[in-house]
Amino acid sequence: NAGVTQTPKFRVLKTGQSMTLLCAQDMNHEYMYWYRQDPGMGLRLIHYSVGEGTTAKGEVPDGYNVSRLKKQNFLLGLESAAPSQTSVYFCASRALIGAWDTEAFFGQGTRLTVV
């Protein structure tokens, strides 16, 4: 059981380049999330999705776009990377059982460096 898988695990981008991070979950979870983790700031929510075809902004959405065309996949896009987007990105998923009965499962993270 793979759980939540993020691709790639590492990436170096030049300023202005674009890229897409892929998150795939095999647990049939309804909710999926993208976070970024920065030193001294914990995890901050970028975007999230409550179901296939739906997305919403989180705490720090600027500079990112997302899509959830299939239930199992949640893509995070950077259209024009900036050094401020250097971070570790985590994807998470959660089942919808009541409003709050389940914990989130996280991927292993993607370390992105923008130079």
Partner 1 sequence: AQKVTQAQTEISVVEKEDVTLDCVYETRDTTYYLFWYKQPPSGELVFLIRRNSFDEQNEISGRYSWNFQKSTSSFNFTITASQVVDSAVYFCALGFSGGYQKVTFGIGTKLQVIP
Q: Which residues bind partner 1 (CB under 8 A)?
A: 31, 33, 40-45, 48, 50, 56, 58, 88, 90, 92, 94, 99-100, 103-109
CB of 14 to partner 1, least distance (A): 24
Q: Minimum distance from CB of 72 to partner 1 (Å)?
A: 18
**34 close to 20: Cβ distance less than 8 angstroms:** no
Question: Of 16 and 41, which CB lies nearer to partner 1 in the complex structure?
Answer: 41
CB 48 within 8 A of CB 26: no
Q: Is the CB of 22 or the CB of 88 nearer to partner 1? A: 88
- State the nearest-atom distance from the C-beta of 44 to partner 1, in Å: 8
End-to-end CA distance of the chain: 36
Q: Which is nearer to partner 1, 17 or 104 (CB)?
A: 104
Cβ pair 103, 92 in contact under 8 A: no
Query: What is the Cα–Cα distance from 66 to 77, expressed in whole angstroms?
Result: 6
